[in-house]
Chains A and B, each alone.
Chain A
Amino acid sequence: MNDTISTTTGAPDMTALQLEVAEQIVAALNLEMTASDIEADAPLYGEGLGLDSIDILEVALVLSKRYGFSLRADNEDNVRIFASLASLTEYVAAHRTL
């Protein structure tokens, strides 16, 4: 279970960084939902949020600008990093320079 950091808009089980990342996903992809609608552990690909490889590149671009790192991945890593909002946020937290 992730630390619960109280925010005014976030879902109760979302960390502040998760919410921030979720907000950028929603904005970058014009998704029909709010950031707090994205479940931390639900898959981002396919049946979950329904993101495809085009989306992943868009999200990667936005996150790299915001947090100052470049995603470098072979295929397997890519699937793992984008498995869920939680795993993506974990990756951001570990690699951010901004």
Chain B
Amino acid sequence: MLPTPPLLHAHPDAIVAWRAGHPVTRRVFMAHAAQVADSFPPGRHLLNACHDRYRFAVTLVAGMLSGRVNLMPSTYTPEVVRQLAEFAPDTFVVDDGVDAARHPGLPEHRFPDALPSTATDADTLLALPPEQLVSWVFTSGSTGAPVPHPKTWGKLVLNTRAAAQQLGLNTGERDATTAGTSVGGASAAITVSFWAKAPPTTPTARSLSQTPGADGADLPPFTLIGTVPPQHMYGFESTILLALQGGGAFVAERPFYPADILATLAATPGPRVLVTTPYHLRTLLAADEAKPPVELLISATAPLPPELARQAEQAFAAPLLEIYGSTETGQIATRRPCADARWHLFPGIQLEDRDGTTWARGGHVETPVPLGDQIVLEDSEHFTLQGRGADLINIAGKRTSLDYLNHQLQHIPGVTDAAYYMPDEDHGGVTRLAAFVVAPGVTRADIVAALRERIDPLFLPRPLLMLDALPRNATGKLPRDVCKQLLAAHHAGRSGRSPQ
């Protein structure tokens, strides 16, 4: 694989991002990245905590251009931040003032407030070698120590290009081969070819034609609007890398409420792609505001209930594609649930069954890895998802494992026995975890406070039941039906005491 520049936009005036409704061109983006790279302290590892998606992307590229590695933990609890400082003692945090208090103990580097609004023609796209390490992405592991997974530039590029192709957004490579051929004023011909729509009429060039951007540049072939943070793999791949390596643009803002998200969609010019999760889709569909039509809906982190997928396609008048992936593998399959329940693997990715566990390898997967889900292989390119591995927890798109949570809970001082329990999910909302704890002389509030130091708040138990003893069976296990009974007894009003 050849060295590849961080941005694949062929023209220096191509729009890379929208900030508060204003376009940012490749030229300006690269000038910002160069300036931010110059401002960095000497450390070779950075924690990119920028809330704003534009500042995140500039910090990422600045790090890549200066040979720094981006650390991506699964959460920012004090315990994890301490472990990161141990993993890479020269780590500094780049933040933009939002949530700045979340990472005490690491030196802070504030994203510069003032950046040049124009750039000279010195805009050069430095190509980076495929073996360059871009990120360490961490999973929670099962023993308390985060497990690092390397992400090299070449694999990230391969992954993003495959994703763009599967999503019908593969304009970037065309751009790269037709550098400088953008022609404003032609008839509308978007080279984005979505599955559900007719093929583009002129698939040869980025000949976008709608009204030009405010500075005269053509509109980007697509703009990504995300409801997920760029700090996790899905948001990293689908709201940042997809734009940078797909020749498209992204919106810098992170709209929170449904009304904010819908307003941002309506205000964004050109073909729009909403990058979201089942959880956000549900709240968006429940909102009273009108749903602006978009070109494409992308969902990931958990399978969408089919009915929700159908409603979403109808409401936004767009195909909805789901992405399947994991922190370890990156994105490896897509499907359009309204058309086919089967998942379609990315080119080059192979799945194989090893003693009842499905492993992924090939393509951009760095090393063969087992997948946590129960998978049935249909043929070499398709599979169906039968369910989550019993140990995996996914709450509103955040993932961890029961092993990890149990380890954290059991190691709180004073706790003599403890277990987490994931109740059966209903589709009405977000299902929360329960926990059973034996800790004589320790209060529930103490335990919650200790957990808050160690785990993401989404995984704090509701309820946390204090018991005299856990009714473990002869093999030391706490069967699900026993947990279910404990919880039911609690809900029936017998809180705080062992039901035995």
Inter-chain contact B462/A57, CB cutoff 8 Å: no
Partner of B259, one of A46, A50, A72: A72
Contacts of A30 in B (CB 8 A): 432, 462
The verdict on A7 contacting chain B, using a C-beta distance below 8 Å, is no
Task: List B427-444 residues whose CB lies under 8 Å from chain A.
Answer: 429-430, 432
Using A58-B430, A61-B287 as known contacts, say yes or no to A52 and B458 having CB atoms under 8 A apart: yes
- The A-contacting residues of B in range 95-141, CB under 8 angstroms, are 98
Nearest CB in chain A to that of B396: its residue: A54
Chain B residues with Cβ below 8 Å from A57 are 256-258, 283
**What CA separation (Å) do A71 and B396 show in the bound complex?**
20
A80 to chain B, nearest CB (A): 13
Whether A71 contacts B257 by the Cβ 8 Å rule is yes
Known: A70-B289, A72-B263. A54 touches B279 (CB 8 A): yes
The tally of residues in A whose CB lies under 8 Å from a CB in B reads 21
Contact between chains at A52 and B257 (CB < 8 Å): no
Residues of the B chain whose Cβ atoms lie less than 8 Å from the Cβ of A60: 257-258
**In the complex, what distance in Å separates the CA atom of A18 from the CA atom of B289?**
26
CB–CB B279/A70 < 8 A: no
A residues near B288, Cβ cutoff 8 Å: 64-65, 70
Q: Once the chains bind, are B51 and A61 in contact (CB under 8 Å)? A: no
Residue from B256, B263, B462 in contact with A78 in the complex, judged by beta carbons closer than 8 Å: B256
In the complex, B463 has a CB within 8 A of chain A: yes
Give the Cβ gap from A76 to chain B, nearest Cβ, in Å.
Answer: 8
Beta-carbon contacts under 8 Å, A34-61 to B: 46-47, 50, 52-54, 57-58, 60-61
A1 CB–B CB distance under 8 Å: no
Judge if B457 is at the interface, Cβ distance under 8 Å: yes
A75: Cβ under 8 A from any B Cβ: yes
* Interface check A73, CB cutoff 8 A: yes
Whether A75 lies near B51 (C-beta < 8 A) is yes
Quick one: closest B residue to A77, CB to CB?
B256
Q: A52, B457: Cβ atoms under 8 Å?
A: yes
Which of B258, B395, B457 is A70 in contact with, Cβ under 8 Å?
B258
Determine the distance from Cα of A32 to Cα of B462 in the docked complex, in whole angstroms.
8
Contact of A50 among B254, B257, B448 (CB under 8 A): B448
- A75–B429 CA distance with the chains assembled, in angstroms: 24
What does the 1/0 interface line of A64-97 toward B look like (CB < 8 Å)?
1100001111010010000000000000000000
Q: Do B429 and A72 touch (CB < 8 A)?
A: no
State whether B257 touches A73 (Cβ < 8 A): yes
Asked if B430 and A61 make an inter-chain contact with CB atoms under 8 angstroms apart, the answer reads no
* Option from A32, A61, A73 in Cβ contact (under 8 Å) with B260: A73
> In the bound complex, do residue B460 and residue A50 qualify as a contact, i.e. CB atoms below 8 Å apart?
yes
Q: Known: A52-B458, A64-B288, A75-B51. Is A58-B429 also a contact (CB below 8 A)?
A: yes
Contact with A along B228-259 (1 / 0, CB 8 A): 00000000000000000000000000101111
Q: Is the CB of A50 within 8 A of B457?
A: yes
Chain B: CB-nearest residue to A56: B256
Set B260, B430, B449: member contacting A54, Cβ < 8 A: B430
A75 pairs with B256, CB closer than 8 A = yes
In this assembly, does B286 line the interface, its C-beta being within 8 Å of a C-beta of chain A? yes
Q: Would you give the shortest CB distance from B298 to chain A, in whole angstroms? A: 19
Residues of A within 8 A of B51 (CB): 75
Chain A residues contacting B448 (CB-CB under 8 Å) are 50
**A residues near B452, Cβ cutoff 8 Å:** 46-47
Which of B449, B457, B463: most chain A Cβ within 10 A?
B457
Say yes or no: A32 contacts B287, CB within 8 Å: no
Which of A54, A75, A78 has the largest count of B CB atoms less than 10 A from its CB? A54
B283 neighbours in A (Cβ, 8 Å): 57-58, 61
A70 touches B256 (CB 8 A): no
CA distance A63 to B339 in the complex (A): 35
Expressed in whole angstroms, the minimum distance between the Cβ of B285 and any Cβ of chain A is 11
Say which residue of B257, B279, B457, B458 sits within 8 Å of A72 (CB atoms). B257
In the bound complex, do residue A71 and residue B259 qualify as a contact, i.e. CB atoms below 8 Å apart?
yes
Mark out the residues of chain A between 11 and 41 whose CB falls within 8 Å of any chain B CB in the assembled complex.
30-32
Q: How far is the CA of A30 from the CA of B432 in the complex (A)?
A: 10
CB of B263 within 8 A of CB of A75, answer no
Q: Which residues of B are found within 8 Å of A71, using beta-carbon distances?
A: 257, 259
Alpha-carbon distance A31/B256, docked complex (angstroms): 23
Chain A positions within 8 Å of B460 at CB level: 50
Q: CA A57 – CA B395 in complex, angstroms?
A: 14
Interface CB pairs A-B, < 8 A, 10: A30-B432, A32-B462, A46-B452, A50-B460, A54-B279, A54-B458, A61-B283, A65-B286, A70-B257, A75-B51
Enumerate the 8 nearest inter-chain pairs by beta-carbon distance, A residue then B residue, closest first: A70-B259, A52-B457, A54-B396, A71-B257, A32-B463, A72-B259, A57-B283, A61-B283
- A-B contact sample (10 more), CB < 8 A, given A70-B258, A70-B287: A30-B462, A47-B449, A50-B457, A50-B460, A58-B429, A61-B286, A72-B257, A72-B263, A73-B260, A75-B254
Residues of A bordering B, CB below 8 Å: 30-32, 46-47, 50, 52-54, 57-58, 60-61, 64-65, 70-73, 75, 78
